Amino acid sequence: MKASTVTPAATGKWRIDIYDLLIKFGLIVASLVCLLPFVHVASKSLSSDSYVIANKVFLWPKGFTLEAYSKIFADASILRSLYISVIVTVLFTILGMILTICAAYPLSRAQFKGRRVITFIFLFTMYFSGGIIPDYMNINNLGLMDTIWSLVLPLSFSAFNLLIMKTSLTSSIPVSLEESARIDGAGHFRILWNIVIPLSKPIIATLSLFYAVGRWNAYQDALFYIKHATDLRPLQLKLYYLVIQASESFQLEATTVTLSNPEVLKASVVVFATLPILCVYPFVQKYFVQGVMLGAVKE
């Protein structure tokens, strides 16, 4: 707003000021379209049933109550799925980063013979895969069905992230630095551990976030692989069954309060599942933007 009031004085043209306002207005509308759905759902989750049933809640809670949240925290299965999600995400991210670094470091070294072939083996998986059913049967054959490993292992290698890591290592670690370390008698393990990893902290942070957010949000594989072990459902899958398919009901601690409106409970469980992402989002956003740029370099 400040800039727009300065512009006409500076240029003496009112026309520009109007366009400026129009652009800002357009952007504000677009941003609100992104924000208001959350505000609405959050308001609903904090409102009392009668107002929600009467369709009177829009962007501010009416008849403020935390009742729905107390029900969520009383539901052991929801807390359990949150716990599963956290465990799976942490294991997945650590494993994914180990795999990415182990593959990217050798492939970024010019002296490494056979790297063209190995790079092809890795990157081919980006364009062609067995597909849903062969993957499913593979998991089944490996005996991973209905275990958290079916969510941790199969997707933990990402060719796309490998590509970003490799590009970053090739450009950011000077060959001379590595050479001098070799002259001093350091092997590849030493170089990787003492030089490459400390120097690549930013890219490691970025890719870890890629892995973590990707894992946190995915539910397709959980839908396929976690069939019978209901206590191993990650949060997103739990949410799917509770809210979208609505096939599961909340385990209410006191059955006498079953009269409460499911819409309020649904809204509050959506907020519950969104909050972890919303909390870290402002801090991780810039890493993601950097990651996108790094990924685009190759293109």
Partner 1 sequence: MKAASASQTNQALLLRKKYGPLYYLRRDWQLYLLVLFPLAFVIVFKYMPMTGLVIAFKDYKIARGFWGSDWVGFEIFQQIFSKPDFTRAVRNTLLLNVLDLVFSFTMPIILALMLNEVKSIKFKRVNQTLLYLPHFLSWVIIGAIAYQLLSEGSGAVNNLIELMGGTRVPFLQEDTNWLISYLAIGVWHSMGWGTIIYLAAISGINPEMYEAATVDGAGRWRKVWNITLPSIRATIVTLLIMSLGKVMDGSFERIWSLQNKATTEFTTTIPVLVYRWGIESGNFSRATAIGLFQSVIGIILVISADRLAKKLGEDGIL
Binders of partner 1 among 248-287, rule CB under 8 A?
263, 266-267, 270, 273-274, 277, 281-282, 285
Structure tokens at 112: 């490494």
- Within 10 A of 164 (CB to CB), how many other CB atoms are there? 24
C-beta of 22 vs 253, nearer to partner 1: 22
Query: Which range touches partner 1 (CB under 8 A), out of 29-37, 64-72, 166-174, 193-201?
Result: 29-37
Does 16 bind partner 1 (CB under 8 A)? Our answer is yes
The one among 18, 90, 137, 177 contacting partner 1 by CB under 8 A: 137
Q: Can you say whether the dihedral through the CA atoms of 131, 132, 137, 142 is positive or negative?
A: positive
The one among 5, 70, 138, 194 contacting partner 1 by CB under 8 A: 138
Within 185-214, the residues that bind partner 1 by CB under 8 A are: 187-189, 192, 213
- Within 10 A of 2 (CB to CB), how many other CB atoms are there? 6
Specify whether the CB–CB gap between 169 and 105 falls below 8 A. yes
Q: Which of 295, 280, 125 is nearest to 216 (CA)?
A: 280
Alpha-carbon distance 91 to 74, whole Å?
27
Structure tokens at 130: 């067995």
Within 50-79, the residues that bind partner 1 by CB under 8 A are: 52, 55-58
C-beta of 114 vs 256, nearer to partner 1: 114
Alpha-carbon distance 139 to 144, whole Å?
5
Specify whether the CB–CB gap between 122 and 162 falls below 8 A. yes
Alpha-carbon distance 160 to 272, whole Å?
31
Does 21 bind partner 1 (CB under 8 A)? Our answer is no
Within 219-248, the residues that bind partner 1 by CB under 8 A are: 219-220, 223-224, 236-237, 239-240, 243-244
C-beta of 48 vs 254, nearer to partner 1: 48
C-beta of 4 vs 65, nearer to partner 1: 4
Does 156 bind partner 1 (CB under 8 A)? Our answer is yes
Alpha-carbon distance 47 to 58, whole Å?
10
The one among 44, 71, 166, 233 contacting partner 1 by CB under 8 A: 44
Residue type, 219: Y
CB of 50 to partner 1, least distance (A): 13
Within 86-125, the residues that bind partner 1 by CB under 8 A are: 98-100, 102-103, 105-107, 109, 111-114, 118, 121-122, 125
